[in-house]
Structure 1
Amino acid sequence: MTTLVQIIKEKLQDVLKDPELVTGDLKTLIDAVQHPDSLNDRLLLQEKLFVLMTRLGDTNASPKQKKAATDLQAIAVDFLYKDLPHPPGAYLSALASNASTTTATANAPQEGGYLKYAYRAADASNYNPLFPNFGAARQPYARTVPSTSLFTPINTLPDPGLVFDTLFRRPKDQNGKSKFDPHPSGVSSCFFALADLIIHDIFNTNRKDWSINDNSSYLDLSVLYGSSDEQVNAIRRHDGTGRLLEDVFADNRLLLMPPATCALLVLFSRNHNFIAQKILNINERGNLQSPSSLTSNSSALKSQDDEIFHRARLVNAACYIKIILGDYVGAILGQVRDRSDWRLDTLAQSRTLGHDVSPRGEGNVVSIEFNLLYRWHATLSEKNEKWTEEEFKDALEAAGCVDSKGGEIDWNKITEADFGKAAWKVGSKYTMQNVKEWTFGGLERDKETGAFSSEGIAQILMDATEDVAGAYGARRIPEVMKVIEVMGIKQARSWGACSMNEFRKFFGLKPYSSFDEWNSDKSVAAAAKALYRDIDNLELYVGLQAEDSKKPGPGAGLCPGYTISRAILADAVCLTRGDRFLTVECTTYNLTTYGYRTLLPSTQTMGEQDGSYGGNLTRLFYRLLPAQYPVGSALAHFPFLAPSTFETQMKQIDQEKGTKEAAKYLWSRPQVPAGPAGKLTNEPEKAKAGFERVITSYEGAREILTETVPVGVTSQHQGRVWSSGYEDRIKNVLGGGIWTKEQKVLDLDFVRELVEGHVPHLDGLEEKRLRDYFVDLVWRCVGAKEFANADAYLGEEGKGGEKGHVRFLDVMKDLVNLIPVKWVCEEIAGIPFKRDSDGDGSVWTEEELVRRFGDVCQYIFVNNTPEEDWPLRESSVKLFKYFSEHVVDQIKQHASWFHAVKDTKDIIMSPNRARSTAFLHKLVERKGVKTPEELAELLFVETVITARHWSQAVGHVLDAILPKEGEVKAKISTAEFKSFASNVFAQNPIVSGVHRTALQDTRVPGVNENIVTGERVFVSFIDAYKSRSSNAAKISGAGEYGILGVGEYGLMSPKLFDVLTPHVVEAILSLSNLKRGPGQSGKFNKFTEDTQSLNGAPQQIYIDAVGALKPFPDSLVIEYTAQSQKV
């Protein structure tokens, strides 16, 4: 550690010149380098190093600080990885031959002699291609630390039962109740449910030969998939989708753990199926087919099923690792508690200070020392202690070992033989042949699907999140665990494990000189001294379990014993960095672009944090249990910290920093739906039982949308019977993302009138000028964004531009998506676009503003992906604040002569303000008693939130007009546009459907019974249009586009849409010899899937240029010939 600190000090010389970084912790580190003799782990040097990296790498840190954090991380990871030998120096028994090949390897999918994709073998063989059995299942444990100084003969070591009673067991009061010490950081039982998965994933000691580990030495989710071909095949469907059977997993040992462990594993089982379905739907390489089109049991179906399964497993296992590094390690280091989103990236490629490549993917073999280290029974909560007692009691009675006759069991009398019989009895009930019937936690499987209820899974996980775990340390293990702990002590002795001090010396830690130094509790130290006499005789297992535990503080969240804390990080680095499928093989080629992107943090994919401070388990809750975990739920964002303690901690930090972060979360436990919510029905009795009613008739859908309260409720809107929920999300944006019950009336009528009547010129309000502005905007975009083929660059000075040369334009990205953004920025708000040479305070480029406009629209109207809700809201809030600042500034400038002069200067300096100023001046004249801030809110709602829907509507129309092949033959006149667009939107709705909530009892066409107040229905536009009768034109009425399901604000208001959209489309169609671009470029990159949050309704999803899944089209390339008179 001293060497590491010295290297870090040298690496930080430039950064240390910044006085803000010379904190007390850093001074302590420098002092430690100067006085190496005083180094020991009680000085918390490791914690201070990680706190330093956390502060330097935080999202809000400067680029120089982040660079320093990256450099420090590379050094620290390399140091921790090399803490353990690769390969190990010793094993507990002889290694199997490296020549063995598994069935999975022999049947690997190949093409032309090459693997089509990398994949995990069932037994983890070939993880290191040079040493195929390195770390594979059914190989011997490694020995990390040879014992050379433990001179006490094994037969003179203290009795294991006596060790348990004096050093391990929770003491009892006079009433026989054991003393429970809650975890000092408020870590929840859910954390230890994941710990159970990790421990059982890498440790599965063979019952007959304790030197053999029946699982692999990798965090490959073998607890889910199994460690043999037989287990893997037993949980798969083999139907061409690559999916698993519903809610199954392969390791029956987990059924003996508290229910939250299995509940988490069920989430990973569902996540595999979610990923597999996405891979099939997206079909990135175009080689996958609908399973229904493949012959049953054919080689084609098997090949497709294998490919999807293996790719989905790679993604799911990588997701598991991201949760371990983000949530699990984040909790260990207290990073979530301290509200930091920086995480140690153990997988990143890096080089050592000598420029050597830091090793990755070389393999890993787990050792007996870490098998002993990960036994954390002291952390059992009171609730889980009682559960364990009941389960153990039932198992012992079923095995005929005890007969409690309804009374208590004396756990001191349970023998190892009793435990073996009970474990065998329970295990024999759960075989791979009946894996579809395994149950836990009192849950039952659905008779049709075999799945557990989502409500039941959620209840178990919420219970675990609210349940505070136990503290580490001596005398904190429940008595019911005595027989298991005794077996653990004996097992460690049979392995010849090293002493506590030998283990510490191996990691460069100061060995303990006395029992009092090992544990500051005098009674514990005295008992240990009486048992072992000399501190050097203290066994590793006993020493780890009863060592002094840490106190909560910066860098210390888990608070185990000091030695565990030091070793656990080295092991985490080796387990992850040594796995080639998490490092060198973790590529978009193997995982697919979708699979790889789903592993990235939201700050990288969406530009915003997701509210979990670096955690990733939140995604699984929102992805797989969306009806049970509402957005903003603290139980979803912080599952490893009990809300009863973390809410208080959050508010304290808010008070210290002057922030309001805690107010963004819902801290109370969500009300989990009682019925099978999320399913659709038209049957009244089922609707009352908890199903959600679907509206499929066109008449019913149109009536509900017509009678929905619009945003901005005024007196003339009273009496409406349906609520959309849009207004709540709008208020979240306008309120800065703070969850609030504040009722704010948004009177949009007068601002809408001005927006619809406003034109870019100051000399009139003629409709023609408004059209001319948008048509001119089309040609400006064409001229600025089009590109040409090679022939066009043969003209004078390489400029090209001759009439007749082929031109290309991404009509969505560079025109249709850009037009409403330019209109708002130029005509309404006066927002400047950022350019490389800008120095006027502009923040975002055109492309960035287009993205944020899309974020607002998606957050408010198409919020169908709960895991994206938080970053979408945060992006929307930032856009509103930026918009509001510009609008308010211009309104206030209009208030005085001085500001009027400044306003003139700004108009000259910023062309965007020239036209927006005139509109805002008129807005001020009509504002009445409204403040500039209120006017900015109204204007934002009226012009920004539907901008991307307008672009999508235009995109759908263009896609319908452009023939699959050849040039556009028939032009659509403005007179024909309305009828044409209506048919387009009927066949290809802008949104698939919407939810509505009844504000009063009502009747709806097509539904036989009354819909009651508070009932939520789903309006399916796809079904509605399918049911529309031949007289649909009469139903929809003149001047309507049917049912759109989007807010009729801004460019989507009927007046503006009718006036502007036909002319924009007409201008685009006027391009000479217009046709689709070549190949895929000339098509929308999209797919259709049944969206869970839309109750199974088909939803069109678009894939953008970087592989992100969006509800809006991102790209459509058109081809045409140059028109010198226009460009």
Structure 2
Amino acid sequence: MASSPFAQLYQVISRALSPVPKYPYKLGNDDSVKKTGLLQDVQSMKLEDYKTINDMMNVAMNGEEDDDTLLLERTIAFLARLPSQSQEGQALTDGFVNTLWGSLVHPPNGSLGDVARYRTADGSNNNLSRPLLGAANTSYCRTIPSRVFQGPNFPDPELVFDSIMNRGDGTSSKEHPNKLSSQLFYLAIIITHDVFQTDHRDANKNLTSSYLDLSPLYGRNQEEQAAMRAFKFGLLKPDCFSNKGILRLPPGVGVFLIMFNRFHNYVAGNLALINENNRFPRPDPSHATWEDWVKYDEHLFQTARLITCGLYVNIILKDYVRTILNLNRSGSTWDLDPRSQEKKNALNSNPAPEATGNQVSVEFNLIYRWHSTLSKKDEYFTNKTFRDLLNGIDPAKATTEQMEEALMRFEREVPSNPQDRDFAGLVRGDDNTYSDDELVAILTSSIEDVAGAFGANQVPSCCRALEVLGIIQARNWHVATLNEFRQHFQLKKHETFEDINPDPLVAARLKSLYDSPDAVELYPGLVSEKTKPPMDGSGLCVNYTTSRAILSDAVALVRGDRFYTIDYTPRNLTNWGYNEADFDLTVNQGHVMHKLIFRAFPNHFAYNSIYAHFPFVVPDENKVIHDNLKTAVKYDWAKPTRKIDPVVLKSHKTVCKVLSDNTNFHVPWGEAISYLVSPSPDKVYAKGFCLSGDGPANKESREHVRKCLYAPTKWEDELRHFYKLNAQNLLEKASYRLPGSEYNEVDIIRDVIIPLNTRFVAAFFGLPIKTEETSPHGIYSDYELYMLLTVMFMTVFFDSDPANSFKMHTTAKELALQLEKLVQIEAEVDARAGWVADVAARLGFGGSDKPSDTKDKDGRAWPGLPSYGRHLISRMMEKGKSIEECVAGTVMPISAAGTTIMSGLLSQCLDYFLGDGSEHLPELYRLAKEDTVEADGKLMHYMLEGIRLRGTVVVARYVPPSAAAQEVTDTAPCIADPSDPMGPKPIPNPKVGESKRTYVIQPMQRAIIDLTTASHDESAFPEPETLRLDRPLDNYLPWGFGPHKCLGEGATRAAMMTAFKVLVGTRGLSRAPGPRGHCKSVEFKEWRGQVGRKAVEGGGEEWTGLRVFLSPDQSGYWPVPTTMKVTWLAEEARGKSEEAWVKVGRGTS
């Protein structure tokens, strides 16, 4: 850069005035050149450089750069303008280089390839640069060296135990002050056994890994892991665990591990079913090799393990750590999660590294010996177990040698096959699983059992030999003293024995054992130290030093683990797996323990059971907590009990018979409907709504609603006009021309069918939708309103996933009440009821009728429903009822289902005609263009057949308590197609006569009415797998049958047929290439737990036709299709390619 004349003059004068060099001869690479100062820097700067400096400082503060400002380039330009010998410029350049270097990890802590992809059985390769760091069968590390003189005359270890640790006869035993349940400490036991298993032959060696990898379940090495695996479909052997030592602990610990076992197998099954991006392609049995099946099993097993460990660590951080920090008693969602993605900034110049690996230490081996927390129940169990192991010797009097020999003998005698081991005296069934009832009884007892308290003289005497062995082992490890350990964590030294424990007796005994507080050994000191009181931040109420140390250890165990940090991604766990293990701060402040319990035992717990949602505190204390938080009403407080298995009814005759009998078979939806629309326990609505029950009030409601829906004389013309123009407009607006092609493409479900039906329901019921074309000042967008209505629908009609049911219920209720209030305001505006209505009217609620058609900026006409909306709401207002009662009790319930049902049926119908029924597309196109009454009649039959052949519809009934048990005879009219046993298409049952069975359905037992199988019943639909246009309309069942047949059948048939006509009236309609041209679905079989019985009584493993669909990102299941892309010939290209229809329309699948 050329220097200015002033700078050149300054340089000349400086040289002239400088002294003669003392040493004129310099080395050739001498860099001792005089640096220029700040004045020279300022002279070289431009005005914009000052903004660059300011932006650099802002980035340094917040750790994030907006590269749209081109700060990188401006920084380089600024540095280039500074004098070459600028001292500040060099410092800034150094910082710039440091920033660029720091953007990458050195050396990299992640890698591709199978070696890095999954956890190894022994924990190796967690740190790829130090592959043996933290692996099983490596030595413990040391947290802190001991520098003070210890011994050599330590007090007798038995005396130490008897003096400051022993609970004695139990009279001094204390319950945990925060009423923590034994269930919490069972998890603590699992964590301890996960990372600490000392080799009795070499006490410096740890037999398990230093990572939270669930080795008590999966095994510590390849041999133990192989013993746990079924080597089929990624599964574990059912209802067992690897660690032998767990068998001598309270059975609640084993049940905890069995729950993880069941969760793993649930996950493996779903991974195979979803097969995200063909990641788990099932080998073709006709030509697959043994290696293909091994690979299939391995990928499923390892991925399921990653997901199961993900839930495990979330339980630790969100349930366990929050409880020990007493955060479960607050309404806060804050937690101590070491996985936070820290940013480097001025306030955090040195973010904690992650994925470094971990090596557990001998000190923490001692810290986690929490025998004092054994409840009285578990003390009794432990005493009996040890007495049996010791051949009748009292454990409190056994020597260390006797105890060691007993434990080693136990280890030798336990069978190597986990399924051959005796657990809690339970008997395995024919499928090698344990009874759900017996396991749940153990779990319930564990949740109700108050654990013991920490502190001096709280360890059961039956643990005497174990504690003495611990004291001796700590001495052999030469661990630091209690005070040295405290100083390592920057805690104040205990100056007196009273500082350690203010109890005079304990302090006196410590003084008699040790000469000085500085001499108190680590392990006895940790156990006898005073405990923290219950308070905010202190829920565990553990000894002071332990409370500080375990938080550091929790951070190290999680943040140092590659599989919980940089490799904990949806890519590695799959989208569905990541979501399945994930937490939601809006549900129980992030707690996730309920996910594990519901997956293990789906048949016992109410969706909102306090036992499932907060099992780490006993229920009585949870009641106190949630009363204070005003959340007790959200939960069910009853003990878990087995739910009665439902019966699945399948034949057309039986289905119609049951649906016609509303005396002995009632609808089950009343409680859920009232829950959604009732704002408080003292304001319960919708009990008399037509779908809420089968009494006289429900019958009157049905007639009232029917009259309101069909009061307008030209309702059908109005609906058809709405659907025709809106469908055409959405299709045109949402589609785009494929580059270099004559075809358009659109997501026909997401961008046409769903918004079309959502806008219809909004216009029909006066819901506050926000659209660019007709209602820019509304409240909810198409998608928001659709999601709101669908989650309401699922809560009432599709509550099939117990692990997510609570979240769905609470979300749906919150959203429903918001919508209900808005609709109520609309009704109040029309009724001119109160000041709220006056204000709302000024904001656009209510008011004059909107025109039938509204034109957008492109001239497209968007019709409304002038006879509905506010007019329908007005018609639904009933005499003697308030506006709130009418809106909550009638308008809200009836509006919930329309969008979801119509979108589902139309999407599945279209899916059929784009696949198995694609040969009919040319005729459908011809009929759509013919546009006559006769053609429309045929199109209606085509649509109903498409729905029948591909639709999945199910309803439910139950026998009321007032009725007697009902005897029902049924058959299985169809079976799975052998060529595609999990597909959506059955074949007629060739042995339908032999499938006849009779059920006795008990009061309060549900009957699942399978309208899908009934729609493939040859007795009602001859040639059931053939599309025929001569079938009686009354035989079709998608809208139900009998007294509760859908009131909106006439309206929705007309509306859907109009939309169907528009869609099939596009030439060359075809699926888009690849998976995006399909609506991804999987066979729906309700998870009934691991126990291998029939899915439901009478349901068996027969074909039900029921399917669930994947969300667009495949992270969860949805009751109806969510996405499917199609193509069709653009309007201007149709004349060029008349044969394109046949070429594109045929042969798709």
Q: TM-score, normalised by structure 1?
A: 0.79
- SS class of match (1:1102): strand
> Deviation at 1:536?
0.2
- SS class of match (1:809): strand
The question of whether the paired residues in 2 share the 8 Å contact of 1:829 and 1:883 is answered with no
The question of whether the paired residues in 2 share the 8 Å contact of 1:224 and 1:269 is answered with yes
Counterpart-to-counterpart distance in 2, 1:184 and 1:898: 53
Residue 550 of structure 2 is matched in structure 1 by 568
Aligned length: 944
Counterpart-to-counterpart distance in 2, 1:996 and 1:470: 45
Counterpart-to-counterpart distance in 2, 1:836 and 1:1069: 25
Q: What does 1:385-400 align with in structure 2 at a 5 Å threshold? A: 385-397=379-391
> Deviation at 1:628?
1.3
Residue 958 of structure 2 is matched in structure 1 by 996
Q: Name the CA shift for 1:613/1:234 in 2 (closer, same or farther; >3 Å).
A: same
Q: Name the CA shift for 1:458/1:339 in 2 (closer, same or farther; >3 Å).
A: farther
Q: Name the CA shift for 1:116/1:848 in 2 (closer, same or farther; >3 Å).
A: farther
The question of whether the paired residues in 2 share the 8 Å contact of 1:281 and 1:1087 is answered with yes
Counterpart-to-counterpart distance in 1, 2:183 and 2:128: 36
- SS class of match (1:543): helix
Q: Does 1:1105 align with 2:1112?
A: yes
Q: What does 1:120-199 align with in structure 2 at a 5 Å threshold? A: 120-149=119-148, 151-154=149-152, 156-172=153-169, 177-199=170-192
Q: Name the CA shift for 1:124/1:998 in 2 (closer, same or farther; >3 Å).
A: same
Counterpart-to-counterpart distance in 1, 2:1043 and 2:844: 31
The question of whether the paired residues in 1 share the 8 Å contact of 2:788 and 2:812 is answered with yes
- SS class of match (2:343): coil
- SS class of match (1:246): coil
Counterpart-to-counterpart distance in 1, 2:707 and 2:294: 63
Q: What does 1:484-563 align with in structure 2 at a 5 Å threshold? A: 484-563=466-545
Residue 305 of structure 2 is matched in structure 1 by 313
Q: Name the CA shift for 1:319/1:911 in 2 (closer, same or farther; >3 Å).
A: farther
Q: Name the CA shift for 1:823/1:371 in 2 (closer, same or farther; >3 Å).
A: same
The question of whether the paired residues in 2 share the 8 Å contact of 1:950 and 1:1051 is answered with no
The question of whether the paired residues in 2 share the 8 Å contact of 1:966 and 1:1075 is answered with no
Counterpart-to-counterpart distance in 2, 1:1010 and 1:630: 25
Q: Given the alignment, which residue of 806, 809, 822 partners 1:870?
A: 806
> Deviation at 1:939?
0.8
Counterpart-to-counterpart distance in 2, 1:456 and 1:291: 38
Q: Given the alignment, which residue of 363, 366, 391 partners 2:360?
A: 366
> Deviation at 1:304?
1.2
The question of whether the paired residues in 2 share the 8 Å contact of 1:693 and 1:1018 is answered with yes
Residue 635 of structure 2 is matched in structure 1 by 665
The letter for the 1-side match of 2:405 is K
Q: Name the CA shift for 1:1042/1:891 in 2 (closer, same or farther; >3 Å).
A: closer
Counterpart-to-counterpart distance in 2, 1:323 and 1:723: 40
Q: What does 1:907-918 align with in structure 2 at a 5 Å threshold? A: 907=844
Q: Given the alignment, which residue of 714, 726, 729 partners 2:669?
A: 726
Residue 271 of structure 1 is matched in structure 2 by 263
Residue 1074 of structure 1 is matched in structure 2 by 1069
The question of whether the paired residues in 1 share the 8 Å contact of 2:763 and 2:868 is answered with no
> Deviation at 1:326?
1.0
Q: Name the CA shift for 1:828/1:167 in 2 (closer, same or farther; >3 Å).
A: same
Residue 614 of structure 1 is matched in structure 2 by 590
- SS class of match (2:294): helix
Q: Does 1:932 align with 2:883?
A: yes
Counterpart-to-counterpart distance in 1, 2:336 and 2:800: 32
Residue 611 of structure 2 is matched in structure 1 by 635
Counterpart-to-counterpart distance in 1, 2:266 and 2:769: 42
Greater alpha carbon shift after TM alignment, 480-489 vs 896-905: 896-905
Counterpart-to-counterpart distance in 2, 1:486 and 1:602: 44
Residue 27 of structure 1 is matched in structure 2 by none
> Deviation at 1:480?
0.9
> Deviation at 1:839?
9.7
Q: Render the CA deviation track for 1:119-172: whole Å, top value 9, x for unaligned.
A: 1111111111111111100000001110012x2313x12111111111111244
Greater alpha carbon shift after TM alignment, 355-364 vs 900-909: 900-909
Q: Does 1:1057 align with 2:1052?
A: yes
Q: Name the CA shift for 1:836/1:483 in 2 (closer, same or farther; >3 Å).
A: farther
> Deviation at 1:989?
3.7
Q: Given the alignment, which residue of 201, 223, 229 partners 1:230?
A: 223
> Deviation at 1:860?
1.0
Counterpart-to-counterpart distance in 2, 1:837 and 1:828: 16
Counterpart-to-counterpart distance in 2, 1:907 and 1:259: 64
> Deviation at 1:960?
1.2
Greater alpha carbon shift after TM alignment, 965-974 vs 247-256: 965-974
Q: Render the CA deviation track for 1:772-800: whole Å, top value 9, x for unaligned.
A: 112222123223322232359xxxxxxxx
The question of whether the paired residues in 1 share the 8 Å contact of 2:724 and 2:1062 is answered with yes
Q: Render the CA deviation track for 1:457-513: whole Å, top value 9, x for unaligned.
A: 211111111111011111111111111111111111111011111011001111111
Q: Name the CA shift for 1:597/1:1013 in 2 (closer, same or farther; >3 Å).
A: closer
Q: Given the alignment, which residue of 1027, 1036, 1039 partners 1:1041?
A: 1036
The question of whether the paired residues in 1 share the 8 Å contact of 2:954 and 2:1008 is answered with no
Residue 602 of structure 1 is matched in structure 2 by 584
Q: Does 1:444 align with 2:434?
A: no
The letter for the 2-side match of 1:1111 is P
> Deviation at 1:877?
1.4
The question of whether the paired residues in 1 share the 8 Å contact of 2:677 and 2:816 is answered with yes
Identity of aligned residues (%): 27
Q: Does 1:818 align with 2:755?
A: yes
> Deviation at 1:726?
1.5
- SS class of match (1:598): helix
> Deviation at 1:904?
6.4
Counterpart-to-counterpart distance in 2, 1:427 and 1:740: 61
Residue 701 of structure 1 is matched in structure 2 by 655
The letter for the 2-side match of 1:790 is P
Q: Does 1:968 align with 2:929?
A: no
Counterpart-to-counterpart distance in 1, 2:202 and 2:649: 62
- Bigger Rg, which one: 2
> Deviation at 1:419?
1.0
Q: Given the alignment, which residue of 788, 805, 830 partners 1:852?
A: 788
Q: Name the CA shift for 1:152/1:898 in 2 (closer, same or farther; >3 Å).
A: closer
The question of whether the paired residues in 1 share the 8 Å contact of 2:182 and 2:451 is answered with yes
> Deviation at 1:270?
1.2
The question of whether the paired residues in 2 share the 8 Å contact of 1:888 and 1:936 is answered with yes
The question of whether the paired residues in 2 share the 8 Å contact of 1:831 and 1:913 is answered with no
Q: Given the alignment, which residue of 1088, 1094, 1098 partners 2:1083?
A: 1088
> Deviation at 1:864?
0.8
Q: TM-score, normalised by structure 2?
A: 0.77
The question of whether the paired residues in 1 share the 8 Å contact of 2:678 and 2:684 is answered with no
The letter for the 2-side match of 1:960 is Y
- SS class of match (2:922): coil
Counterpart-to-counterpart distance in 1, 2:228 and 2:591: 29
Q: Name the CA shift for 1:859/1:153 in 2 (closer, same or farther; >3 Å).
A: same
Q: Name the CA shift for 1:967/1:1004 in 2 (closer, same or farther; >3 Å).
A: closer
Q: Which runs of 5+ in 1 are unaligned?
A: 1-66, 71-109, 403-408, 604-608, 655-660, 679-691, 709-719, 793-804
Q: Which runs of 5+ in 2 are unaligned?
A: 1-60, 65-110, 690-697, 852-864, 928-934, 971-996, 1025-1029, 1089-1094, 1135-1149
CA root-mean-square deviation: 3.3
Residue 774 of structure 1 is matched in structure 2 by 723
Residue 209 of structure 2 is matched in structure 1 by 216
Counterpart-to-counterpart distance in 2, 1:247 and 1:496: 41
The letter for the 2-side match of 1:768 is D
> Deviation at 1:961?
1.6
Counterpart-to-counterpart distance in 2, 1:951 and 1:811: 11
Greater alpha carbon shift after TM alignment, 846-855 vs 338-347: 338-347
